[in-house]
Structure 1
Amino acid sequence: MMSELPHDLVRTLLAVVDEGTFDAAAAVLHVTPSAVSQRVKALEQRTGRVLLLRTKPVSATESGQVVVRFARQLARLEGDARDALGMEDSAGGPVRLPIAVNADSLATWFVPALAALAQEARLFVELRREDEGHTTALLREGEVLAAVTSSPDPVTGCSVRRLGAMRYLPVAAPGFAARWLDGKDLARSLPEAPVVIFDRRDELQDRFARELTGGHAASALRHYVPSSEGFADAVTAGLGWGMVPSSQAAAGLCSGALVEFVPGRRLDVPLYWQQWRLDSPALAAVAAAVTAAAAGALQ
């Protein structure tokens, strides 16, 4: 049973996963690499499972991910208990909350949401940028405590609440629109026009093109720009058309640097906040700040 797992062994496994090597974990734990190896082996013997893949960096197996999740929950609850009791943190460090968030949220509304935490001198976040369709994988693997995700289905052990929807507009530079799109049958011209894609997981442009054309994906002529700000800049520069968050597109639309080539059409992507079910004041404070900010920023 998980309650029978020695906490020192569990913490050691977490250190190895976080640091990536046995040597680095040993330095953090102030023990020898041999001691770290012995603890991990003892934990694997106790569970009867292989918990780590001895790769570079080290990675957790599916069974190891279960223990990693438990380790993070244990660390968070212990830290909250110490705070409530007015005890010094045994690690001597601040409260750190790993959170996964998609790039467009990170570039628009999410960071301002954290402003409410500025008065919490010991509360810090470690943000992991990941596509909104894949942030739940980080929750499932125990890499983060909470995530902004497009999935309404809670990861086992997590709660979920709707934040709102990120609105995307189909936009292009005026010169690009005049050359490729204006005055043409979009059902034929859009699948041929160069397009800007965030990365190979980005399906927004293809999804919009299929909805508009009745099944045709966006063009194979693709520029991949894996930065939210860079993506918007690439569209503004005329490299291709793209689905840009309405808040990012607003200035360009007002100045004339961007045009909506299908006025009135948009794509709304629902976003949700998923977090582990922990009675943690620190996690609750972040959730409250994020939910409040999303209420004003999202559809």
Structure 2
Amino acid sequence: MDELPLDQVYTLLAVVDEGTFDAAAAALHVTPSAVSQRIKALEQRTGRVLLMRSKPVRPTDSGQVVVRFARQLALLERGARTELGLAAGPGERQGPTRLAIAVNADSLATWFLPSLDRVPQDPPICFELRREDEAHTTALLREGQVMAAVTSSPDPVAGCSVRSLGRARYLPVSSPEFEERHLSSGRLVDRLREAPAMFFDRRDELQDAFVRSLADDGTGIPAAGGFRHYVPTSEGFRDAIVAGLGWGLVPEAHALPLLRSGALTLLATDRTLDVPLFWQQWKLDSPALAAVAAAVAATAAEKLLPPE
């Protein structure tokens, strides 16, 4: 493949980030026609369609490769300029280094945010956090949308390094009234399959995994006919269980105070569910990314259970 002109590469990144050609033109201080011409020239140079002209625009698989390259290049260039004490280059956005990170909702609600407060702010760093299920955050890494991710996958994405953070523990709980009404008789695993259950979203598999761990036959909650509530925030999920809508797996940090107060009851005293968490990031010599990784690892060591 021919050399990729940087103005065209950065223009593609601007279009993806801003969502439209017009918005990218405004951000780059050029005309929409110039943006369109650069994208067409880059597509001709690579021999591939790089953008789907939707609203907002979306990169194709080939476009994701170029977007990832552009983000990595921009991060390295900004880091080099900072170390050399150079001013921003022509067309480069002013302001702090921006790091996009994918994090699951429960980590955001329990232990992750304090780690960002530990990151040195000289030079300044701003964070763009993308909330996604821990089993799916690596997809954002592959697409070049984020530079690092908290994930449940130990298998590194191409071009990324991986380190273990620890285990997030979840407790099976319900309100005392819900337990009395739905779970007081019969085998617990049978009652859990039939009782209303809380799910974060349609990708949430924790409740199914817990039921399978109890079952002799390894089956979970019936997909058809199951009584499922969906509440897509960590705090809302917890509060819905306290309100008696259903049972579910709640992060230990959220569950313990409510268990002590009597607002929740533990459904199985000898069973928990641990989710291993990992930190994946681009393999880049970036001081900003290294500082964030160190802060996240230090906080995880304090707040999570040790890796198995």
Q: Aligning the two structures, in what range does the TM-score lie when normalised by the shorter sequence?
A: over 0.9
1:163 counterpart = 2:165: yes
Partner residue of 1:101 out of 100, 103, 112:
103
CA contact (8 A) 2:51 2:58 kept: yes
Give the alignment of 1:12-91 within 5 angstroms. Answer: 12-90=11-89, 91=93
**Alpha-carbon deviations, 1:13-57, whole Å to 9, x = none?**
000001110000000000011100000000011111111111111
TM-score normalised by the chain length of structure 2: 0.94
1:287 counterpart = 2:293: yes
Shift of 1:6: 0.6
SS at match of 1:171: strand
Which 5+ residue runs of structure 1 have no aligned equivalent? none
**Match in the other structure for 2:127:** 125
SS at match of 2:289: helix
Give the alignment of 1:257-276 within 5 angstroms. Answer: 257-276=263-282
TM-score normalised by the chain length of structure 1: 0.97
Partner residue of 2:221 out of 218, 222, 225:
218
Structure 2: how far apart are the matches of 1:244 and 1:218?
A: 17
SS at match of 2:145: coil
Structure 2: how far apart are the matches of 1:283 and 1:131?
A: 22
Give the alignment of 1:247-266 within 5 angstroms. Answer: 247-266=253-272
Letter in 2 for 1:181: L
Shift of 1:120: 3.9
**Alpha-carbon deviations, 1:78-127, whole Å to 9, x = none?**
00001001112332211110000000000000001111126446111100
CA contact (8 A) 1:139 1:147 kept: yes
Structure 2: how far apart are the matches of 1:268 and 1:134?
A: 17
Structure 2: how far apart are the matches of 1:186 and 1:255?
A: 23
Letter in 1 for 2:234: S
* RMSD, aligned α-carbons: 1.2
Partner residue of 2:149 out of 137, 141, 147:
147
240-249 vs 183-192, which moves further: 183-192
CA contact (8 A) 1:191 1:216 kept: no
Shift of 1:276: 0.2
CA contact (8 A) 2:199 2:229 kept: yes
Structure 1: how far apart are the matches of 2:31 and 2:236?
A: 45
Structure 1: how far apart are the matches of 2:190 and 2:133?
A: 29
Shift of 1:213: 2.4
Letter in 1 for 2:240: A
CA contact (8 A) 2:82 2:123 kept: no
Structure 2: how far apart are the matches of 1:184 and 1:121?
A: 60
Shift of 1:150: 0.6
Which 5+ residue runs of structure 2 have no aligned equivalent? none
CA contact (8 A) 2:141 2:147 kept: yes
CA contact (8 A) 2:174 2:241 kept: yes
**Match in the other structure for 2:197:** 195
Partner residue of 1:184 out of 156, 180, 186:
186
1:137 counterpart = 2:139: yes
